[in-house]
Amino acid sequence: MTTETASKPAVKKVGMIQALNMALHEAMSKDDSVIVIGEDVADPEEGGIVGVTKGLSTAYGDLRCRSTPISEQAIVGAAIGAAIMGMKPIAEIMLMNFTTVAMDMIVNHAAKLRFMSGGQTNVPLVIRTATGAGLSVGGQHADYYEAWFAHTPGIKVVMASTPADAYGLLLSAIDDPDPVIFVENTLLYFTQGEPPEPGKRIPLGLAKVVKPGSDVTLVCYGSHVAPSLAAAGKLEADGISVEVIDLRTISPWDKKTVLASVAKTGRAVITHEAVKPFGVGAEISSVIHEELFDQLKGPVQRVGAPYCPVPYSKPLEVAFMQGADAIEAAVRKTLQARAVA
């Protein structure tokens, strides 16, 4: 006699683009002050660079989802003005390299208005922008500038690695009273993941321990979460237990979670896609050494791209992108090191 066991239906995966679109629909449907502006963001255009804003102008009108001329200064300037007047603008800057065109607006106005007004004027602005190597788009279209913005007081910087996190973080960014740079990785646009819980926000500044471990702490974010988990899996086969932390928010970063993990493991590696010198990894490494020096079993290691623009040549671009092998090598290096007695 055979017994049939009912299996649970498989959970339908959600793509990164879909998750971001869901968050925008959620915010715009609940709050009329949420607006979207940017190049080609309205229908019947493509919905931005990859379709994240597709359908928004049809649902909420072209006054709330408006396509603009090709002018980053105009986009950010209009968004700052709207924010000052009580709106919650979401400005799409097609690629992160193009934020440089509006750097005066972002750094000297959006970031400083709360300070300059004595706390009387908030700028609840979200700037969504995409970047990342791997698509052979060259050095003017794929740089990571998160360290620039994190270095500027008054700006929050967010970078999600999964569709569910992107949904929850974007909702929190829209609710935030201060300007937020929301960075989206171009390769992660095409990934699938667990669907987000409707309406669930992920607080900015809260990291996520995606894999517990006891021998070394691996801090990562964005496109380097997947290769970090891959490296951790290979190391696990050799009996090395790696704790993987996804920062999710670059500024403010979750110092409490990171330091608690490193205090437990005694070793740390920080990895990111951006170039290694002067990067986010340098800041976190410095804080770890300053606050946990006596508890470290070896020096903190960093993984980042070589100090050059993103190459257009595919072989050079592959060499430029640091993956699971480089992360694994950094973990092994810190494990081999011994703290000075």
Cα(94)–Cα(114) distance, integer angstroms: 26
pTM of the model: 0.94
Please check the confidence at residue 187 and state whether its pLDDT lies above 90: yes
pLDDT bucket at 340, cuts 50 / 70 / 90 = very low
Token pair, residue 259, equals: 């330091």
Domains of the chain plus CATH, in order, are 14-193 (3.40.50.970), 208-336 (3.40.50.920)
Residues 6+ apart with CB under 8 A from 14: 22, 163, 164, 192, 193, 194, 195, 196
Give mean pLDDT, residues 260-280.
98
pLDDT bucket at 44, cuts 50 / 70 / 90 = confident
Give mean pLDDT, residues 54-60.
96
State the pLDDT at residue 337. 75
pLDDT tens for each residue of 218-249: 999 999 999 999 999 999 999 999 999 999 99
Sequence letter at residue 226: A
Token pair, residue 202, equals: 């992920």
pLDDT tens for each residue of 196-220: 999 999 999 999 999 999 999 999 9
Token pair, residue 104, equals: 């005066």
pLDDT tens for each residue of 319-330: 999 999 999 999
State the pLDDT at residue 145. 96
State the pLDDT at residue 339. 44
Cα(150)–Cα(158) distance, integer angstroms: 10
Give mean pLDDT, residues 247-261.
98
Please check the confidence at residue 338 and state whether its pLDDT lies above 70: no
**Bridge-partner residues for 158, per DSSP?**
182, 249
β-strand pairing of 88-95 with 126-131: parallel
Token pair, residue 156, equals: 């929050």
Report yes or no: 94 and 64 within 8 Å, Cβ to Cβ: no
> Percentage of the chain surpassing pLDDT 90?
92
Token pair, residue 229, equals: 């988990």
List residues with catalytic annotation. Answer: 72, 141
Q: How far is CA 195 from the centre of its chain?
A: 18
| Maximum separation of any 2 CA atoms in the chain, in Å | 78
Report yes or no: 197 and 227 within 8 Å, Cβ to Cβ: no
Q: What are phi and psi of 249, to 5 degrees?
A: -110, 125
Report yes or no: 78 and 23 within 8 Å, Cβ to Cβ: no
State the pLDDT at residue 137. 93
pLDDT tens for each residue of 8-41: 566 789 999 999 999 999 999 999 999 999 999 9
pLDDT bucket at 7, cuts 50 / 70 / 90 = low
State the pLDDT at residue 292. 98
Give mean pLDDT, residues 59-72.
96
Instruction: Provide the mean pLDDT of the chain.
Output: 94
Report yes or no: 235 and 331 within 8 Å, Cβ to Cβ: yes
Cα(218)–Cα(225) distance, integer angstroms: 9
Q: Tell me, letter by letter, the H, E, C secondary structure of the chain.
A: CCCCCCCCCCCCCEEHHHHHHHHHHHHHHHCCCEEEEECCCCCCCCCCCCCCCCCHHHHHCCCCEEECCCCHHHHHHHHHHHHHCCCEEEEEEEEHHHHHHHHHHHHHHHCCHHHHCCCCCCCCCEEEEEECCCCCCCCCCCCCCHHHHHCCCCCEEEECCCHHHHHHHHHHHHHCCCCEEEEEECCHHHCEECCCCCCCCCCCCCCEEEECCCCEEEEECHHHHHHHHHHHHHHHCCCCCEEEEECCEEECCCHHHHHHHHHHHCCEEEEEEEECCCCHHHHHHHHHHHHHHHHCCCCCEEEEECCCCCCCCHHHHHHHCCCHHHHHHHHHHHHHCCCCC
CA distances, 63 to each of 34, 73, 149 (Å) = 11, 19, 29
State the pLDDT at residue 261. 98
pLDDT tens for each residue of 136-178: 998 899 999 999 999 999 999 999 999 999 999 999 999 999 9
Report yes or no: 232 and 248 within 8 Å, Cβ to Cβ: no
